[in-house]
Amino acid sequence: MSGCLFCRIVAGDIPAAVVLENDTVVAFLDIGPLADGHILVVPRKHFDLLVDVPPETCSAVASVVPVLGRALLDVTQADGFNLLVNNGRAAGQEVMHVHWHLIPRSSGDGLGYRWNAGSYPPGKADELKDRYLASLGSPKD
């Protein structure tokens, strides 16, 4: 897609520190890392959002994530990593070509992680489950 930053990186028109590529995906260092070794994985084909990505492309990304994760742990000596997709501008997506972040994490790295868990009042979880089932059609699909 012309004008898309990550399409231009995939095409080789803009330089990037590529660490892995195959027929379907390209992985490169994030230019603004949250921690040294922060990686982005993108499909070669342009999709704006995660919800636009077909299963075979998701599978290709999922297949490289453990490989990249092992390399990340080896190279950065981090204790772990976060795998993250910002889907949509409200979720913080700035580049509208879907990408998966692998962010190295270590104890006391100060990056923080807000996980302000709530709780459901009686009946609310069932109501939401029913709405999900109506949207999904069947829990077995």
- For ligand AMP, the binding residues (CB under 6 A) are 5, 14, 16, 30-32, 40, 86, 92-95
Cβ(105)–Cβ(82) below 8 Å: yes
Q: How far is the CB of 32 from ligand AMP (least distance, A)?
A: 3
* 99 tagged catalytic: yes
Closer residue to ligand AMP in complex, CB, 92/112: 92
Q: What is the DSSP letter of 121?
A: P
Which of 38, 46, 99, 101 is catalytic? The answer is 99
- Which residue's CB atom is positioned nearest to ligand AMP? 32
By the 10 Å C-beta count (0-12 exposed, 13-18 middle, 19+ buried), 5 is classed as middle
Q: How far is the CB of 126 from ligand AMP (least distance, A)?
A: 33
Closer residue to ligand AMP in complex, CB, 4/5: 5
Q: How far apart are the first and last CA of the chain?
A: 32
Q: How far is the CB of 31 from ligand AMP (least distance, A)?
A: 4
Cβ(67)–Cβ(20) below 8 Å: yes
Closer residue to ligand AMP in complex, CB, 21/30: 30
Q: How far is the CB of 50 from ligand AMP (least distance, A)?
A: 11
Could you tell me which residues are beta bridge partners of residue 29?
Answer: 39
Measured CA to CA, the distance from residue 16 to residue 41 in angstroms comes to 12
By the 10 Å C-beta count (0-12 exposed, 13-18 middle, 19+ buried), 36 is classed as exposed
Closer residue to ligand AMP in complex, CB, 88/126: 88
Q: Which residues are marked as active site?
A: 99
